[in-house]
Structure 1
Amino acid sequence: MDAGRIVVIGCGYVGLTTGACLARLGHDVTCCDLDGEKIARLRRGHVDIREPDLGELVAEGVAAGSLRFTQDSARAVTGAEVVFLCLPTPMGADGAADLSAVETVAVEIRELLPRGTVVVTKSTVPVGTATRLTRLLVREDVAVVSNPEFLREGFAVQDFLHPARVVVGAEQQQAAERVAALYAPLDARAVLIDPVSAELVKYAANGFLATKLSYVNDLAELCERTGGDIDVVTEGMRRDHRVAPSFLSVGPGWGGSCLPKDTAALLHTADSVGVDFPLLGAAVRANAHHQARVVQKVVDCCGGDVSGARIGLLGLTFKAGTGDLRDSPALAVARVLSGRGARLRGYDPACAQRSAVQRIRCVADPYLAAEGAEALVLLTDWPEFAELDWPKIAEVMRAPVLVDARNQLDPRELALEGFTWRGTGRTLR
C-alpha cells in the first residue's frame, strides 16, 4: 500500500519503536500518549528510553514531519487508516495478562474510527483478544488484526527494520494484507495466519526461551556438582546445528519485561482450557531456584551470614544494553540479600544517576560499589565490567571475594589478584 496514515497509541518501548520505524519506512505516523510531559519531550526529539538508534530515528521523523506526537488520541484516530495499540499488558494477580488499558482505549476510540480502519494489537496479548476487541468495538466496518512484536531490548530498531518474520493474524484476508503491506519496504516475509495462532506465537517463543535459559542454569548446577565446565558444555552445544546458539548463557535467572509475564500468561491460558503444561511450570520454578542459588553463594562467601555485611552489586538491569529494571533477576537477588540484613551498594551504567533502587544505594562508579565490601556480586554482564581495574577493586574491598553470576570474568586472572571467585557452573582449576 502507499504511505499510510497510522496512529500508534502508547509511547512506551514498543509504541515508540513502532512509530519511529514506521515513519522511517515512509508512513505518516502520529503517536499518542496520556503523559503530557513525555509528549513534550518527544516533540523536542528527546527520548528517555535507552535504546540504540531510537533517539536518532525519532529526531529524524520529527524533523521530516512524518512523525508527530499528541495527547489527543481522539482527534488523531479520526483520520487514521491503521491504529496500532501498543499499551501495557502487565501480569495480573492470577498470572493472566491485564488487558484493562487495551480495552479502555478500544471503548474510547470505537465511535471515532473512520469506516474501514484496521485496529492492530501490537502489544503482547493473550489468546482471544482479537475476538474480545471485535466485540468491544461493535463496528462491523472495522477489522481487528494481531501483529505481535518481536523486539529485543537493546536491538529494537534493528529487529524492527530487519525482522526474522512479520506475523499478521486476522479473520479478514484483506485486513491482514493491508497490515502486511506496511512492512513491504523490509526484506522480510509476512506470515498471514489466523488471529489465535498469531496471539500464541509470541507467548510460544518466549516460553521456549525461558525454558532454554532454565535448562542451561540447571546444567550449570550439574556441572558444579560433577566438576564439569558449563562454558565448555555450552560451546559444544552451540556447534550442534540442531541447537540454536542463542540463549545458552548462564546467569542469575531470567527476567525483564517479557519472559516472566509471558510465561505466567501462557500457563494461565493453558490452565483455563484444561491443558497441563508441566515443562513450562518447571522452568518457572527452576528460575526462582537459580536466583536463590546466587544468594546462597554470597552467603557462603561471607561465612554463612550476611546480616550487617556490606555487599557490592555490579549490574542492576535485567540485561546489559538496556535501562530496564522490570523483573530484573539482579533485583530479585538483591531483595533477598537485603531481607537477610545485607547493606547493598550497587552500580549500573544505566542507573548511575539514581540515588537508590529497591533498598540498594546506587553509586556513580563501580569502585564505590566495591569499597569496603565483604563480597562483590556481578549480576549483569555490561562489557565495561571486564575492563575494570581489578587490582584496584581488590585493594578497596574489605575482602576480595567475587560471585560472578554471569561467568563474565577470567577466574585465573582474578586469582592472581588475590580474589576468591565463585562462578556459575565452573570451578577454578
Structure 2
Amino acid sequence: MRISMIGTGYVGLVSGTCFSEFGVDVICVDKDAAKIERLRQGEIPIYEPGLEALVSSNVAAGRLSFTTDLADAVAQSQAVFIAVGTPSRRGDGHADLSFVYAAAREIARAMTGYTVVVTKSTVPVGTGRAVARIIREERPDADFDVVSNPEFLREGSAIQDFMRPDRVVIGTDSPRAQAVMRQLYRVLYLIETPILFTTLESSEMIKYAANTFLATKITFINEIADLCEHTGADVHDVARGIGLDGRIGRKFLHPGPGYGGSCFPKDTLALVTTAQEAGSPLRIVETVVDINARRKRAMADRIIAACDGTVADKTVAILGLTFKPNTDDMRDAPSLDIVPALVEAGATVRAFDPEGMGEARPLLPDITYCDDAYDAMTGADAVVILTEWNEFRALNIARMKEALAAPVMIDLRNVYTPADMVAAGFRYVSVGRPTPAPDAEAVAAVHATSPSPVI
C-alpha cells in the first residue's frame, strides 16, 4: 500500500515515518521546498528521540520519500493523510482550519481513483463532514471517503506512542474505508492493540475530550499543590495516594508551572469555543483554561518572592525553556510567560536548555543563552528549574553553590528533595511541598561527610 502524508510537521513526519516502519510506502509532502530538501539530506527539522535514525533507515529501504509535488503524490496513493497545522485562530479561540481545507481542495483535484482521505490533524467536530463537502464540490465525480484518525502522540515519546499505542481511533461509516484503515494498522492489530471504529463526529470528539481531560488533571493537581502549601501536606504523597486508585490513575498528576505545548492550550480553547457555539458550555474546561493562564504568571511572582521580593538588578538562572523535556518545542511553554515577567521586573536572565535554545532565541531575545547549566548559574542570585530535563536531576550541589552568587533555588518541577537542599545550605522553594527549617546539626553533618554532595 502507498499513502501520502500532507504536512511534515511534528504529527506528519512522525506518523509518516512510523507507517513506513510498518512496511507501508509513504510519500511525505510539504510546500516548504527548503524543509523537503533538508529531509532528503537526512536533516530532521524537529527534535524527537529516535526519529532521525528511523527516517534514515526507511529512506534507505525505499519506503519513505519527500516531495513538494502534492498532485503526483496523491495520484499514487490509496490513502491521503491531512496532517497540517490547526493553530488557534486569533481573536476567538477557534482552530484555524484554513490549511486543512486548502489541502482538501488540492487533494480533490489530484485524486485518480478511489481514495481514503484521512484527517490526522486535530480538528473540531464537524470538520470531516466539511472536508467531504469541499472535495465533492471540487470533484463531483470523485470516488472517496473521509476518515478521522486522531493522533495521540506525546512529544519526547512519539515513536513509542505510535508503535505501541493505548488505542487507535478511526471514524468512518464506510466499509471500504474501514478495510483500508485495517490494512494500514494491521501490524498493531496483530499485537492486539485496541482499534475503535466510530462515526466521524465521535472520533473528532474523542481527541478533544482526551486532551482536555488530561489538561484538567494537570490543573487539578496544581491547585491541590497550592492548597498543600497552605496546609502542610505534601502534594507528592497526595498524588500517589489518589493515583493508586484505578479510577483516577497516576499519570498527569505531577505539579508544576502549568501545561503548555502544541496541543493542550489550543485544544482546550477550541473545545470551549465549540461548546459555547453549540449552546452547551463546558464550565470546567473554561475554568481550566483560565487557571492555567493565571498559574504561569503566578510562577514569576513565586520566583520574585524567593528573591526577597525583588529581582531588580539581580541575575536569575533559568534551567529549561521548552514546555517539557525531550523536545525542542517552545509552543505555549511556561517560560514564554515567566521569563518576560522577570525581565520586566528588572532581572538579568541567563538560560540554558539542552535542545530548545534555537527555538527560544527569536521568542525570548532579551536574555543570555549559556553553554550549560553551570554557565547559566555563574554569578546568578537564584536558579530556577523550569523544565525537568534529566541532566538537571543530578547537578553537583557544591559546584552549584560555588557558581551562584547566592544559594537560592526555585524548583518548579520538584526535581530535588527539600530536606537535602536545605541541609546543603540552600534557600529552597518547590511546588506543593513543605520545606523544613534549616537544622544546624544536619547541615554540619552533611558538610562533614560529603564536601561535594551530588543529589
In 2 relative to 1, CA 92–134 (structure 1 residues): closer, same or farther, beyond 3 Å?
same
Q: Deviations over 1:345-366 (max 9, x none)?
A: 1111113567835133211111
Displacement of 1:220 in angstroms is 0.3
Q: Give how far 1:177 is off.
A: 2.9
SS at 2:186 equivalent: coil
Tell me, in whole angstroms, the C-alpha distance in 1 between the residues paired with 2:25 and 2:280.
44
Of stretches 249-258 and 291-300 in structure 1, the one that deviates more from structure 2 is 291-300
In structure 2, what is the Cα distance between the partners aligned to 1:180 and 1:362? 48
Which residue number corresponds to residue 336 of structure 1? Answer: 341
Match of 2:304 in 1: 299
1:12–1:87: 8 Å Cα contact kept in structure 2?
yes
- 2:223 corresponds to 1:218: yes
Q: What is the Cα deviation at residue 125 of structure 1?
A: 0.6
Quick check: 1:407 aligned with 2:414?
yes
Instruction: Give 2:130's aligned amino acid.
Output: R
**AA at the equivalent of 1:184:** R
Write out per-residue CA displacement over residues 318-351 of structure 1, whole angstroms, 9 at most, x where no aligned residue: 0011111111012221122222222211111113
Task: Find the counterpart in structure 1 of residue 400 from structure 2.
Answer: 393
Q: Deviations over 1:375-395 (max 9, x none)?
A: 111111111112111211112
Does structure 1 residue 90 correspond to structure 2 residue 87? yes
1:231 partner amino acid: H
| 1:22 is aligned to 2:27 | no
In structure 1, C-alpha distance between the alignment counterparts of 2:43 and 2:358, rounded to whole Å: 17
Provide the C-alpha distance between the structure 1 equivalents of 2:360 and 2:54, rounded to a whole number of angstroms: 30
**SS of aligned partner of 1:119:** strand
Partner of 1:13: 10
Amino acid at match of 1:276: P
Structure 2: which 5+ residue stretches go unaligned? 437-455
Judged with a 3 Å threshold, the aligned counterparts in structure 2 of structure 1 residues 209 and 321 are, in CA distance, closer, same or farther, namely same
What does 1:155-194 align with in structure 2 at a 5 Å threshold?
A: 155-186=157-188, 187=191, 188-194=193-199
2:330/2:360 contact within 8 Å kept? no
In 2, Cα distance between equivalents of 1:297 and 1:264 = 26
Residue in 2 aligned with 1:107?
Answer: 105
CA contact (8 A) 2:330 2:356 kept: no
SS of 2:80's partner is strand
Deviation at 1:157, TM superposition (A): 0.8
Residue identity opposite 1:267 in structure 2: V
Partner Cα distance (2:175, 2:359) in 1: 49
Aligned AA (2:7): G
Shift of 1:309: 2.0
Asked whether the 8 Å contact 1:352–1:363 carries over to 2, the reply is no
1:58 — aligned with what? Answer: 55
Taking the aligned partners of 2:10 and 2:304, their CA distance within structure 1 comes to: 37
Which whole-Å CA distance do the structure 2 matches of 1:149 and 1:192 have between them? 14
Q: How does 1:255-270 map to 2 (within 5 A)?
A: 255-270=260-275
Moved over 4 A (4+): 352-355
Matching of residues 238-253 of structure 1 within 5 Å: 238-253=243-258
For the residue of structure 2 that corresponds to 1:217, the secondary structure is helix
CA contact (8 A) 2:323 2:334 kept: yes
SS in 1 for 2:428: strand
Is contact 1:165-1:191 (8 Å) kept? yes
Q: Does the 8 Å CA contact 2:330/2:359 hold for their aligned counterparts?
A: no
| Residue of structure 2 in register with 1:195 after alignment | 200
- Letter aligned with residue 46 of structure 1: E
Which amino acid in 2 is paired with 1:403?
I
Matched-pair contact (CA < 8 Å) for 1:168–1:180: no
Per-residue CA deviations over 1:283-341 (Å, capped at 9, x if unaligned) read: 11111232233212111122222223211101101001111111101222112222222
- Give the Cα–Cα distance (whole angstroms) in 2 for the partners of residues 173 and 378 of structure 1: 52
- C-alpha distance in structure 1 between counterparts of 2:162 and 2:405, whole Å: 47
Please say if residues 355 and 363 of structure 1, whose CA atoms lie closer than 8 Å, have aligned partners that are also in contact. Answer: no
TM-score (norm 2): 0.91
TM-score by length of 1: 0.96
Aligned residues: 426
Which stretches in structure 1 are left out of the alignment for 5+ residues?
none
User: Is this contact kept in 2: 1:82–1:118, CA < 8 A?
Assistant: yes
Q: Any conservation in 2 of the 1:229–1:426 contact (CA below 8 Å)?
A: yes
* C-alpha separation in 2, matches of 1:324 and 1:79: 33
| Aligned residues of 1:166 and 1:180 also touching (Cα < 8 A) | no
Aligned to 1:128: 126
**Separation in 1 of the partners of 2:74 and 2:356?**
36
1:375 and 2:375 correspond: no
Following the alignment from structure 1 to structure 2, what is the Cα–Cα distance between the partners of residues 213 and 19?
30
2:39 corresponds to: 42
RMSD: 1.4
In structure 1, what is the Cα distance between the partners aligned to 2:262 and 2:390? 22
**Does the CA-based 8 Å contact 1:210-1:254 persist in structure 2?**
yes
Alignment partner, residue 149 of structure 2: 147
Q: Which amino acid aligns with 1:321?
A: N
**Distance change (3 Å), C-alpha of 1:360 and 1:180:** farther
Residue 313 of structure 2 corresponds to 308
Tell me the secondary structure at the aligned position of residue 107 of structure 1: helix
Q: Partners in 2 of 1:419 and 1:205 — Cα distance?
A: 40
